[in-house]
Amino acid sequence: MPDSSEKAPLSATESLRRRWPIAMATVLLIGLLLGPRVWRADWTISSTPYTGGVNTALAEAEAWRGGRLQLDADFYEDAREGDRTYNVTGLGFAVIAFAVLTIQAALTDATTFPPWMLLAIMGVVAPLVVTWAFFRLESNRWWAGVFALAFVLGTPMRIVITLGLGGSVYYINHTLAIIGLCIVTVDVLGRRRWWPAALGLMLAAWSRQMTLLYALPLAYLAWCDWHGAQNRTETGGDDLPSNCKRNVRGRIALAALIGAVIVAVPAGLNFLKFGNPFDSGYIRLYEGRNDGIAQRAHIALFSPRFIPMHARAMNTAFPVPDIRQGTLHFDISATSGGSIWLTAPLTIFVPLTIRRWWPDRRRRAMMLGTLPVILGVMCYHTTGAEAGFYRYALDFLPIWWLVCLPTIPRTAATQRWMAAAACFGVFYFYWMRW
């Protein structure tokens, strides 16, 4: 696979002309490899309790259209306040569903969320955004395609897409969060217009609340740009791109306004539902339940006591391979989680390249910004109860890969290891049976 690191830089037009066919081929290949699982999946999403594809965020969107916050019925996972029940998960999807239902009602007589829209979000938009992100940040168009394909098909994202088509709000949330984190990372490492990063953070934080902590590195880098714009000289003393030097303060102010909305909307909904802007109602999901997850939640939603459980699920858990009926089989029956280093081995290059990405302030800030998110996830009362993969890694893997993989030195030996790691990740998640 060619390494273009020694070639003269191309113009923007020439670069686009050479890169877009590879990008489109990558998307088509992802579609072909993802397609069989997607087409066999049951595209079901429903706002009716105890039915296939039940989704409380969709039920909340329908309640909004009726001018209410409370749900019309009791769900297995809802939050009760008095004689009313509320949804407390998936604000991002609830907003999207509300918009889709409103537009659909204006154009047609249909009253239910269209399953093809779920397919478009999970199976088309998400892979397209991941591919776009890698092609924006990786200079070698061939490796950009490999990284995009490996991320969609060779990480838990593949399973999340497939299972999310069954309507589960949790898998849909993770898919939306990946889209948001890709937008955040591309803007921070690219043009730094800031309002796209703020919108990406909105989508991520309203889908996976822990990702709101990425506001910390964004605020720091925005502060650096703000003061860089204030103190820049004729010689260009700061590293702000020339196309971003104009109106940088206005863009940062707009991003700050979006940031205020990110916090204000959930806090306002919490107040209207439970009388306290800081009460998410999440603990109410476990009222009347006595399963293992509920028992841990009753002890604490977040606690350092859960770190060893997550550490095993994220770093060392791996199914036992064996041969059954003449074919390779991974036994995931007794495996909780799946090591991100073994199931998605391209991740190994993240710590190995620290000397290459650490000197870059923006890359360093984004990587350090993942640490509070990882700590928060590891203190959570459940690992997601997934067998064979660690779904919560998707709260930080998009940033790890987008920040670090483009810095890998492209020696012949390194490229062979990269190709082998990418192939194994795709093979693992293709071979598994969930």
User: How far is the first Cα of the chain from the last one, in angstroms, to the nearest whole number?
Assistant: 33
Which residues sit opposite 302 in a β-bridge? 380
- Tell me: pLDDT of 7 over 80: no
- Tell me: pLDDT of 237 over 80: no
Number of structural domains in the chain = 1
H/E stretch holding 187 reads helix 169-189
Question: CA distances (Å), 267 to each of 180, 357, 418, in order?
Answer: 20, 36, 44
Cβ atoms of 348 and 341 closer than 8 Å: yes
Q: How much is the average pLDDT of 260-270?
A: 96
The answer to which of 179-183, 229-233, 289-293, 376-380 has the lowest mean pLDDT is 229-233
pLDDT of residue 135: 93
Residue-level length of the chain: 434
Asked if residue 299 is part of any domain, the answer here is yes
Cβ atoms of 116 and 197 closer than 8 Å: no
**How would you class 36 by CB atoms within 10 Å of its CB: exposed for 0-12, middle for 13-18, buried for 19 or more?**
exposed
Domain ranges, residue 64: 12-230+245-431
Token representation of residue 351: 């710590």
**How would you class 279 by CB atoms within 10 Å of its CB: exposed for 0-12, middle for 13-18, buried for 19 or more?**
middle
- Tell me: pLDDT of 126 over 90: yes
The answer to which of 56-65, 200-209, 321-330 has the lowest mean pLDDT is 321-330
Average pLDDT, whole number, for the chain? 87
Asked if residue 286 is part of any domain, the answer here is yes
The structure tokens 């598994």 sit at 432
Using the 8-state DSSP alphabet, how is residue 9 labeled?
A: P
Asked if residue 4 is part of any domain, the answer here is no
Asked if residue 7 is part of any domain, the answer here is no
- Tell me: pLDDT of 179 over 90: yes
User: How many CA atoms lie within 13 Å of 24's alpha carbon, on the beta-carbon side?
Assistant: 6
Token representation of residue 277: 């802007």
Token representation of residue 430: 């293709």
Asked if residue 359 is part of any domain, the answer here is yes
Q: How much is the average pLDDT of 220-233?
A: 74
pLDDT digits (tens, 9 = 90+) for 394-409: 999 999 999 999 999 9
Asked if residue 128 is part of any domain, the answer here is yes
Cα–Cα distance for residue pair 78/93, rounded to 1 Å: 16
- Binned at pLDDT 50, 70 and 90, residue 430 comes out as confident
pLDDT digits (tens, 9 = 90+) for 27-55: 888 888 887 767 666 677 888 877 777 88
More reliable by pLDDT, 274 or 231 = 274
Cα–Cα distance for residue pair 79/72, rounded to 1 Å: 13
Question: CA distances (Å), 148 to each of 144, 189, 370, 414, in order?
Answer: 6, 17, 20, 18
Contacts of 374 (CB under 8 A, 6+ apart): 395, 396
pLDDT of residue 230: 56
Q: How much is the average pLDDT of 62-81?
A: 89
Cβ atoms of 215 and 201 closer than 8 Å: yes
- Binned at pLDDT 50, 70 and 90, residue 331 comes out as low
CA–CA–CA angle 344, 345, 348 (5° rounding): 125
pLDDT digits (tens, 9 = 90+) for 361-393: 999 999 999 999 999 999 999 987 678 899 999
Asked if residue 52 is part of any domain, the answer here is yes
Asked if residue 1 is part of any domain, the answer here is no
Cβ atoms of 261 and 195 closer than 8 Å: no
Q: If you average pLDDT over each of 17-21, 79-83, 398-402, which comes out highest?
A: 398-402
* pTM over 0.85, yes/no: yes
